[in-house]
Amino acid sequence: MKQTYIQNKKTKALLTYLANNQAKITLGFTLVAFALSLLQYVQANDIRIYNSDLLYLPTLFMDLTEWGGNLFEWRLTPAPYFFPDMLLYFALAAIVPNWHVALTLSVLLQFILFTTGWALLGRYFFKESKRHLTYAAFIFAIVALLLTLSATVQIIQPQHHISIHFGVMLMLPYILGATLKLINNRFNFHQTRAAWVGLIVMLGLLALSDAFVYVQIILPLLVAIYFLGLLNKIEWKAVLTITISVGIMMLIVYLLRIWLIKYPPFHFSKKGIETIGRSFIEFITNIYQDWQGEGQIVLIFLVFALVIYTAVILVTIYLTVKQKEFNASFSFLGLFFLVSVVLTVTAVISQSLFLDRGGYRYIYPLTVLPIYMLTPVVFYMLCYMKIDKFIPLLLALLVVGTQTNTITQINTLKKYQDNYPPLAACVDTEVTKRGLQSGAATYWDAKYISMLSKSHVKMLQISSAFSPYVWINNPSWYSRFPPQFVLYNPGDPRPIDMAQIINLYGYPQEIVECDTRELWIYNRPNDTRFQHILADDPMSANWCPSDVSVNIPAYIWHIPKGIAAPVGTTLVVDHMQGTVAEGQLFKQPEGKLLKPPEGQYSLEVLYEYEGPLADEKIVADLFVGFSTFGNNDKGIDWHKYPLSATDKTDPITFNLNGNQHLWIRLDFGGDGLFTLHQFQLQKQSEHNWPQVCR
C-alpha cells in the first residue's frame, strides 16, 4: 500500500511538473524537430548552397584575404549585401578556416536568426509568458514543416540563402519588433531609446545594402504608422517624428550610395507606362512558360498570398474593432503587410516594364511571407479555440515522424567539409598535367570552379563573345591571371562563341572533355595574344584620370558583294556581349560599350569600304550615344555623324559625366564590303601633373 502511494505521488508530481512546464516542453520538442528539418534541408540542397550567386561573398572574402585583391577594385552587384549577409558570412569565415563549412553555417544561421526573430515577436501580441513560449513553439514547428516540404515544394528553397535578397527578409522580424516596441510604448523616446536607435540603424544598413528594402519594409512601415495615426492608435507627434527620422536616414544613405557605388539615376519610359496592363500579363505568362512546373507552383503561391493578405486585413480590422485584446500591434502588422505586398508587386512589374528583365526572385517574399505573417493571427485563433497547446506539438510530431532517415544519414554532412564535385576534380587534373593556372568561362562556371578547385585555378568571367564580363568580380583579375584555356559548356543557354575564338586565334592546341564541359587549351608559348586579349580589353581597364588612349580591338564585319543590305540596316558595336559575325547584317545591342569616368573625350573610327562600283561613296552614318540607363538601350541620346569615302572619321569630341555609358552604332545603307578596323577613344586631361592609377 505504501509503495503504491509513493508511486501515485511520483506520478502526480510528474503530471504536475508536465502541466506546469508544458510550454517549455513543447518548445523543446519543436526545437528538436526544427534541428532535424535543418539537417535534412542541408543534406538535400548542396546544389543550391553552392549556387554561383551564393558564391559571391565567399569569392569576395577569398580575394580580399588570399588572392591579393581589395574591395575598391570590385564591381559589386547593385545590391552589395553589406548587411546582414556580408557581416554574417565574413564573421563566420574569419572564425572557421574552412570556407565550405562557413558557407553552410551561414545558411543554417540565417534560418535560425529568421525563425527566432519571428518567435520573439510573440511578446508584442500576447501578454502571458507561457503563451509567448507556446507561440515560439508554433513558429518553430511551422518552419520545420516548411523545411520538410522543401524537398518537394521547390519555391521555398531559395528564400533563406545569402546574397539572394534574403537579408531584407532576415531583418524584417527584428525591425517589426523594434517598431512594435515603439508603438506599445507610445513612442516614448526615454523608454524606447534602444529601439529607436536600433530601428534607424537597421533600416540604414539595409538601404545601403539592398534597395529592395524601400518597397518591402521602409515605405510599408511609414504608411502603416500613418494609418495608425488616422485610427487614433498613436499620436501624430510620433508619426511625424519617425517619418523625419527615417527621411534623414534615407537621405544619408542616398548620398553614400552615390559616393560609394555611383549608380546611374533611374528613368521611366513613356512606352513602359503605356503598356503596364499588357506587360503584367506577359510577365505572369513568362513565369509560367519559363519555369514550367516550378512556375505553376509560383502562380499557385501568388494566388494563395493574395487571398491570405485579403483575409488577414479583414480579420485584423474586425478584431481591432471588436476585441480589446487585439491591440495596435495586430493593426500595424496587417496594414504593414498589405502595403508591402502592393509595393512589392508594383516593383516587380516595374522592373519587368522598364528594365526588360524578369524579377522572378523578387516574387519569393510574396510566396513565403504570408505564412509567417499569418502566424500571430492564426495562433490568436488557436488560443480562442483553446487548442494552442496541442497544435505545435502535433506539428512537431509530424515533422519528427518524417525525419527518420536524417539521423541515420548524418554522415552525408561530411561533404560540406570538402565538397569536390567531379567537374572541379577533372579541371584540376587536366590543368595540373599541363602546368596551367588560369582560364576563362561564363559567369556560373567561373565562380564555381574558382572556389571549388583544389589546385587554386583562377577562372575569369567572360561573355559569350569572349570579352570581359565585369559583373560581381574584380576587373584586375584579367591582367593578374591571364587565361590559358577556355571552359566551354555546350549546354549553356548562351554558350561562348567558339567559332569567333577560332577565327581570331585559330584552333586550340587540344580539346579535353571534363564532365559535361570541354577544355579548349590555348597555351602557346610563342603566341600570347590569347592571354592578353582580356587584360587589354577596355571593359577590364582600370581607368586613369590622366591622358588615356583606348584602342578597341578590331572586329571585322563583312557585307558580301552582291548582297544588298536593306537601307537602314544597323550594325551595332556591342563590345560587352558580342559582335556582328560574318554575313550577319544586324545585331541587337545587349550591353553597354563603355562607362568611362567624367571628362572630355575624342573618338575616331578606322574602317575600309569597297563598293560594287569604282569610287562609290559609302552610305553610312556613325551614331554616338550617351545613356544613364545601365545595360539597357532605352533612353539613349544619339548624335549622328555621316561617314565619308575616306578610311577614318574626323575626331569627334564630347563630354561625359560620371554616370553615363557610351554607345556606338553604325547605320549602313548600301551594299558592298565594309570592314570596321578599330575605334580609338582618347581622354583629354585638363592638367599635366603625374597621375597614379589604381
For the chain, domain boundaries: 274-385, 422-533, 569-683
Low-confidence ranges of the chain (pLDDT < 50): 155-158, 262-280, 283, 290-291, 294, 325-326, 353-358, 538-593, 612-614, 630-631, 685-694
* CATH entry, 569-683, from 2.60.40, 2.60.120, 1.25.10, 3.30.70: 2.60.120
Q: What angle do CA 650, 653, 656 make, to 5 degrees?
A: 150
pTM assigned to the model: 0.68
> What pLDDT score does 539 carry?
46
Please give the pLDDT value at position 426: 93
Q: Which long-range contacts (CB under 8 A, 24 or more apart) does 524-527 make?
A: none
User: What strands lie across the sheet with 569-572, from one edge to the other?
Assistant: 569-572, 661-668, 620-627, 637-642
Q: Which of 558, 532, 540 is nearest to 676 (CA)?
A: 558
Q: Which residue has the cell 587584360?
A: 535
Q: Tell me, what's the pLDDT at 519?
A: 92
The span from the first CA to the last CA of the chain, in angstroms, equals 91
pLDDT of residue 94: 92
Contacts of 608 (CB under 8 A, 6+ apart): 647, 673, 674, 675, 677
At 674 the three-state DSSP class reads strand
Residue 692 has, within 13 A of its CA and on its CB side, a CA count of 1
pLDDT of residue 358: 47
How far is it between the farthest Cα atoms of the chain?
Answer: 125
Residue 574: φ, ψ to 5°: -110, 80
CB 540 within 8 A of CB 475: yes
- Residue 571: per-residue pLDDT: 38
